């Protein structure tokens, strides 16, 4: 394989031509769809000059005209080039084959339904066009088909026998184009905006699924209201359509006025969806809706600026979920997710800045770094400039940049203007990859708490030298009697090392550092076990409180893994206090009760220079869980009994919190009761949360064979529930057993692997099974590599995304490293490999 040349931010040039209007006609046919385009082009006065360049991929050009005169354009391999006048109308007819399009990129078919996905560069598979986000235009779309439902962006302006005409007045880049045609039914509602617009809301699904849309609809209406109340942003069309599709590469897509969703992020009923599903549906519905302003009305100049829309929109959906549920729990879960997904990325071969500087395939950069770390940067910015300037800056951003394609510089400038502060030092966060390590030491002297903060970032690929970053560090201090003696304060760390002095009359006070996880760093603060227990019991900041518990748990596990130590009694006692504190939110208690994940332990061991042994980590976690259960048997049993469901199921946060604590208790109790409680819960559960939790507990102790079969029989025909079943079977068995189960299931007739959700339910589930994927005989690596190679020619984006499970392989012992490397070489040496997977394997092996 030759290596395609990277695209670099430094080479950005504005487009040579702008588009004033796009008219498209689609004559839909599964193998021979005709797309007729009529596009008004005008030379960009600020452009570089030169010919008109249109992108095109897998298109058969039937005819082309400029101002009505047929022409024969020069085909370039990636599109075509034309010497064009300064203003003209381009007309073309192309033929495409949606049925043969397995990539789920461009126009494709899913269960007889036509569907599109154009971000990032899928529109070029539909027609010739300047497929770049800084070319924005209003679209008119005529769809010709006998299918009953024909949808595109904007509003329907005409509907007749076998056709529909849609018009989207808001100029948009091609990546926000969408078209759907099929036999669909709608769950409909209305929303009146603060500007008095009466908006029709529709969620389109396959017949039979319509009674599973209520929660998504409710979440949509709440999102619309929230964006008005919190950001002053109202919806801007008379209709908002959402379509659920089974075959989809990602979670969902914010196409203007026509969001397209993976069906697992829309459909929910108490019998089929877990609390986690409900929560995720709420946040993704909100995320896509919020893109209407942060992404659509104001979009990205180029794909290097992806975090401009994604970091901000994740930040907004996190705020929304916090408002809807609990800020404390939301923050803990966001931090858990950042540490589990983004930290390994930042520490390995795939590390890249939040705003990358080059890429081969942009689809490989829809990463935890761009999304989740991108959101962290927004949160830090807000803490640094304060709420008032934040609000003013947001207002200014919407006023100044509405209708534009912007950069991170534009974004930071509004906050410089609003706050009067220079943000050039802060801007380094966007350029510098890697997670800084924050070392903290403290002493007490003459009525002062003296904190020394030092930061250091290790080299990452292509960035050997790192500079100190500007970060807000929120702190406080707790006295041994549990009183807060230094109130919440934000320190601004700008240098490699700085000392801060705070008045404090209690020499024994324990500093609570990085409250709220105020900066995305690895905290290195040498606290004694007793100090951690104090913070877990008394810190006023819930994130730091939870983190103290996690740190205690890690310390206990570390001693068990490295020194064969017994479970730490301080940790066990501290958990007991949290469990019996009736004032705590049960969701918070459940989070404290969850032991650090195996991946978390492996990461910590590797950071400290040790080699993680997956089976030892697994064994230590099981032993510690068993010890927790043994010590708190009665309290846990009492929790499980007293929180048993009483009324009908409600997905709201309060009830979900109780279920999460009850099921956390069950997971522990199952370690010591041979699964009796879990079996009873499985037999009587009336909702998916409780049923799946019980089954998980049983499978984790190597039991549950009968229950798993009962579950399968019951849900055989439900594709979304069956995805859970596959993932659970693969995810719960340790080591080589897990790989064996994955292999068995890969031969199952229901393993319809070309559907990304089912593929992920087996292959990603094994990747997420720490001791399974890292099975000592290399069978996990071989299995995943084999399936990546199989998936690559079918859905390259999914194959490439699966590659990320290999990003940590260098952490492990020599034997595992060699086995993983051999699997990676098999991928890299394949006769043909997509650009997506090719780039990933090269970066991982480099
Ligand atoms: N913009 C979407 C994410 C998305 C990106 C690419 C896709 O297809 C390759 C699909 C969706 C979001 O942030 O939700
Ligand atoms: Zn997004």
Give the separation between CA 439 and CA 456, rounded to whole angstroms. 8
Give the separation between CA 412 and CA 416, rounded to whole angstroms. 6
Give the separation between CA 565 and CA 765, rounded to whole angstroms. 31
Q: Whose CA is nearest to atom 13 of ligand 1?
A: 310
Going by the DSSP 8-state scheme, the letter that residue 762 receives in this structure is I
**What does R_g of the chain's alpha carbons equal in angstroms?**
27
- In DSSP terms, which residues pair with 60 in a beta bridge? 95
- In DSSP terms, which residues pair with 453 in a beta bridge? 440, 498
pLDDT digits 0-9 by tens, 374-415: 999 999 999 999 999 999 999 999 999 999 999 999 999 999
Q: Decide whether any atom of ligand 1 lies within 6 Å of the 119 Cβ.
A: yes
- Specify whether the backbone of 111 is left (phi greater than 0), alpha (psi in -120 to 50) or beta: left
Going by the DSSP 8-state scheme, the letter that residue 638 receives in this structure is H
- In DSSP terms, which residues pair with 511 in a beta bridge? 477
Could you give the angle at the alpha carbon of 491 between the alpha carbons of 487 and 492, nearest 5°? 165
Tokens read off for 150? 């024909």
pLDDT digits 0-9 by tens, 674-721: 999 999 999 999 999 999 999 999 999 999 999 999 999 999 999 999
Q: Decide whether any atom of ligand 1 lies within 6 Å of the 797 Cβ.
A: yes
What pLDDT does residue 3 have? 84
Count of other CB atoms within 10 angstroms of residue 501: 12
pLDDT bucket at 196, cuts 50 / 70 / 90: very high
Whether 539 and 483 have beta carbons less than 8 Å apart is answered as: no
What pLDDT does residue 630 have? 98
Q: What is the dihedral of CA 223, 229, 235, 241, to 10 degrees?
A: 10
Q: How far is CA 580 from CA 188, 348, 534, 574, 648, in A?
A: 45, 40, 16, 10, 27
Index of the ligand 1 atom closest to the CA of residue 117: 8
pLDDT digits 0-9 by tens, 646-658: 999 999 999 999 9
Give the separation between CA 743 and CA 749, rounded to whole angstroms. 13
Q: Whose CA is nearest to atom 6 of ligand 1?
A: 119
pLDDT digits 0-9 by tens, 548-603: 999 999 999 999 999 999 999 999 999 999 999 999 999 999 999 999 999 999 99
Q: Decide whether any atom of ligand 1 lies within 6 Å of the 241 Cβ.
A: no
555 included as an active-site residue: no
What pLDDT does residue 2 have? 65
Q: Decide whether any atom of ligand 1 lies within 6 Å of the 310 Cβ.
A: yes
- Specify whether the backbone of 95 is left (phi greater than 0), alpha (psi in -120 to 50) or beta: beta
Q: What is the dihedral of CA 626, 632, 633, 637, to 10 degrees?
A: -120
Residue whose pair of structure tokens reads 């012992």 in the numeric block: 813
Pocket test for ligand 1, best of 119, 317, 359, 795 (most atoms within 8 A of CB): 119
Q: Whose CA is nearest to atom 11 of ligand 1?
A: 253
Pocket test for ligand 1, best of 118, 299, 366, 368 (most atoms within 8 A of CB): 366
1: pLDDT strictly greater than 60: no
Indicate which residue of 144, 288, 372, 599 is catalytic: 288
pLDDT digits 0-9 by tens, 526-551: 999 999 999 999 999 999 999 999 99
Tokens read off for 509? 């006070």
How confident is the model over 807-820, as a mean pLDDT? 98
Backbone angles phi, psi at 164, to 5 degrees: -140, 145
Give the separation between CA 259 and CA 292, rounded to whole angstroms. 10
Q: Whose CA is nearest to atom 9 of ligand 1?
A: 119
**Gap between the terminal Cα atoms of the chain:** 15
Give the separation between CA 306 and CA 185, rounded to whole angstroms. 34
| Ligand closest in space to the Cα of 248 | 1
pLDDT digits 0-9 by tens, 483-494: 999 999 999 999
Backbone angles phi, psi at 89, to 5 degrees: -110, 125
Residue whose pair of structure tokens reads 């004033």 in the numeric block: 20
Tokens read off for 570? 């301080």
**Dihedral angle sign, alpha carbons of residues 274, 760, 625, 579:** negative
Backbone angles phi, psi at 661, to 5 degrees: -70, -45
Q: What is the dihedral of CA 347, 350, 352, 356, to 10 degrees?
A: -170
Interacting residues of 748 by C-beta distance below 8 A, sequence separation 6+: none
**Max Cα-Cα span within the chain:** 87
Tokens read off for 437? 């390590």
Nearest CA-CA partner of 106 in 92, 93, 119, 88: 119
Can you spell out the DSSP letters for 803-816? GGGGTTGGGS-HHH
- In DSSP terms, which residues pair with 439 in a beta bridge? 454, 524
- Specify whether the backbone of 338 is left (phi greater than 0), alpha (psi in -120 to 50) or beta: alpha
pLDDT digits 0-9 by tens, 209-253: 999 999 999 999 999 999 999 999 999 999 999 999 999 999 999
pLDDT digits 0-9 by tens, 430-443: 999 999 999 999 99
| Average pLDDT value for the chain | 98
Pocket test for ligand 1, best of 178, 242, 252 (most atoms within 8 A of CB): 252
Give the separation between CA 687 and CA 665, rounded to whole angstroms. 18
Which residues are within 5 Å of ligand 2 (an ion), measured at CB? 310, 313
Give the separation between CA 368 and CA 730, rounded to whole angstroms. 24
Give the separation between CA 175 and CA 137, rounded to whole angstroms. 11
789: pLDDT strictly greater than 90: yes
Residue whose pair of structure tokens reads 């209709």 in the numeric block: 239
Tokens read off for 532? 């951690």
Whether 520 and 338 have beta carbons less than 8 Å apart is answered as: yes
Whole-model pTM over 0.90: yes
Backbone angles phi, psi at 4, to 5 degrees: -65, 145
Helix (H, G, I), strand (E, B) or coil at 557: helix
102: pLDDT strictly greater than 90: yes
Whether 350 and 434 have beta carbons less than 8 Å apart is answered as: no
Report how far ligand 1's centroid is from the alpha carbon of 346 (Å).
Answer: 21
452: pLDDT strictly greater than 80: yes
Tokens read off for 517? 């996880």
Tokens read off for 188? 């409909």
793: pLDDT strictly greater than 80: yes
Can you spell out the DSSP letters for 724-788? HHHHHHHHHS-HHHHHHHHHHHHTSTT--TTSHHHHIIIIIHHHH-HHHHT-TTSHHHHHHHHHH
Nearest CA-CA partner of 2 in 842, 843, 766: 842
Interacting residues of 424 by C-beta distance below 8 A, sequence separation 6+: none
CA atoms within 13 A on the CB side of 751: 18
pLDDT bucket at 190, cuts 50 / 70 / 90: very high
């Amino acid at each position: 394989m030759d290596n395609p040349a990277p695209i670099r931010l430094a080479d950005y040039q504005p487009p040579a031509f702008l588009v004033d209007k796009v008219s498209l006609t689609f004559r839909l046919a599964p193998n021979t769809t005709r797309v007729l385009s009529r596009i008004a082009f005008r030379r960009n006065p600020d452009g570089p000059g030169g010919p008109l360049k249109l992108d095109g991929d897998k298109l058969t050009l039937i005819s082309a005209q400029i101002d009505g005169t047929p022409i024969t354009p020069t085909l370039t391999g990636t599109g075509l080039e034309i010497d064009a006048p300064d203003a003209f109308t381009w007309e073309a007819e192309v033929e495409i084959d949606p049925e043969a399009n397995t990539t789920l990129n461009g126009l494709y078919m899913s269960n007889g339904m036509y569907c599109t996905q154009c971000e990032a560069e899928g529109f070029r598979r539909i027609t010739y066009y300047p497929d770049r986000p800084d070319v924005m235009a209003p679209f008119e779309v005529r769809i010709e088909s006998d299918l009953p439902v024909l949808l595109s962006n904007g509003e329907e302006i005409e509907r007749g026998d076998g056709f529909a005409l849609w018009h989207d007045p808001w100029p948009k880049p091609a990546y926000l184009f969408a078209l759907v045609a099929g036999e669909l039914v709608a769950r409909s509602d209305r929303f009146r905006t603060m500007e008095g617009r009466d908006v029709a809301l529709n969620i389109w699904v396959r017949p039979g699924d319509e009674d599973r849309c209520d929660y998504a609809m409710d979440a949509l209406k709440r999102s619309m209201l929230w964006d008005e109340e919190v950001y002053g942003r109202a919806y801007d069309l008379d209709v908002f359509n959402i379509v659920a599709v089974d075959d989809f590469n990602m979670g969902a897509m914010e196409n203007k006025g026509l969001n397209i969703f993976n069906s697992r992020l829309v459909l929910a009923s108490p019998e089929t969806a877990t609390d986690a599903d409900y929560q995720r549906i709420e946040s993704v519905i909100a995320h896509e809706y919020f893109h209407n302003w942060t992404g659509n009305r104001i979009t990205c100049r180029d794909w290097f600026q992806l975090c401009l829309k994604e970091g901000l929109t994740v930040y907004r959906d996190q705020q929304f979920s916090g408002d809807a549920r609990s800020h404390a729990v939301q923050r803990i879960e966001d931090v858990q997710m950042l540490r589990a997904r983004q930290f390994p990325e930042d520490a390995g071969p795939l590390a890249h800045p939040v705003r990358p500087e080059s890429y081969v395939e942009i689809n490989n950069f829809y990463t935890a770094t761009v999304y989740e770390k991108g959101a962290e940067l927004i949160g830090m910015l807000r803490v640094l400039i304060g709420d008032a300037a934040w609000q003013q800056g947001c207002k200014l951003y919407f006023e100044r940049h509405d209708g534009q394609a912007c950069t991170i510089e534009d974004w930071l400038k509004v906050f410089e203007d609003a706050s009067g502060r220079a943000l050039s030092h802060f801007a380094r966060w966007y350029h510098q990859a890697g997670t800084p390590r924050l070392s903290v030491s403290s002493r007490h002297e003459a009525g002062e708490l003296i904190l020394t903060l030092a930061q250091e970032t290790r080299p990452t690929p292509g960035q050997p030298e790192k500079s100190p970053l500007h970060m807000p560090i929120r702190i406080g201090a707790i006295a041994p009697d549990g009183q807060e003696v230094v109130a919440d304060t934000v320190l601004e760390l700008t240098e490699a090392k700085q000392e801060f002095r705070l008045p404090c009359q209690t020499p024994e006070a324990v500093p609570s550092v990085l409250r709220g996880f105020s900066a995305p760093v690895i905290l290195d603060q040498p606290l004694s076990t007793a100090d951690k227990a104090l913070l877990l019991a008394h810190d006023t900041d819930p994130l730091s409180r939870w983190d103290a518990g996690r740190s205690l748990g890690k310390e206990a596990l570390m001693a068990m893994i490295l020194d064969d130590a017994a479970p730490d009694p301080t940790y066990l006692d501290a958990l007991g206090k949290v469990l019996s504190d009736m004032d705590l939110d049960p969701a918070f208690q459940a989070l404290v009760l969850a032991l650090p994940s195996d991946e978390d332990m492996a990461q910590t061991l590797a950071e400290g220079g040790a080699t993680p042994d997956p089976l030892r980590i697994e064994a230590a976690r099981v032993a510690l869980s068993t010890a927790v259960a043994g010590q708190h048997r009665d309290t846990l049993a009492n929790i499980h009994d007293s929180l048993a469901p009483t009324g009908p199921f409600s997905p709201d946060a309060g009830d979900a919190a109780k279920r999460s604590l009850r099921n956390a208790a069950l997971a522990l109790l199952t370690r010591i009761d041979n699964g009796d409680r879990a079996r009873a819960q499985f037999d009587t559960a009336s909702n998916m949360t409780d049923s799946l939790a019980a089954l998980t507990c049983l499978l984790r102790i190597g039991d549950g064979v009968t229950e798993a079969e009962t579950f399968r029989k019951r849900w055989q025909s439900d594709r979304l529930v069956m995805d859970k079943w596959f993932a659970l079977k693969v995810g719960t068995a340790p080591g080589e057993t897990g790989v064996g189960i994955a292999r068995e299931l890969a031969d199952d007739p229901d393993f319809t692997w070309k559907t990304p959700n089912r593929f992920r339910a087996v292959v990603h589930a094994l990747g997420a099974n720490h001791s399974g994927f890292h099975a000592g005989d290399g069978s996990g690596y071989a299995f995943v590599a084999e399936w990546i190679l199989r998936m690559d020619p079918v859905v390259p984006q999914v194959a490439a995304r699966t590659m990320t499970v290999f990003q940590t392989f260098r952490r492990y012992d020599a034997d595992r490293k060699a086995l993983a490397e051999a699997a990676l070489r098999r991928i890299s040496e394949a006769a043909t490999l997509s650009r997506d997977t090719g780039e990933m394997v090269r970066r991982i092996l480099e």
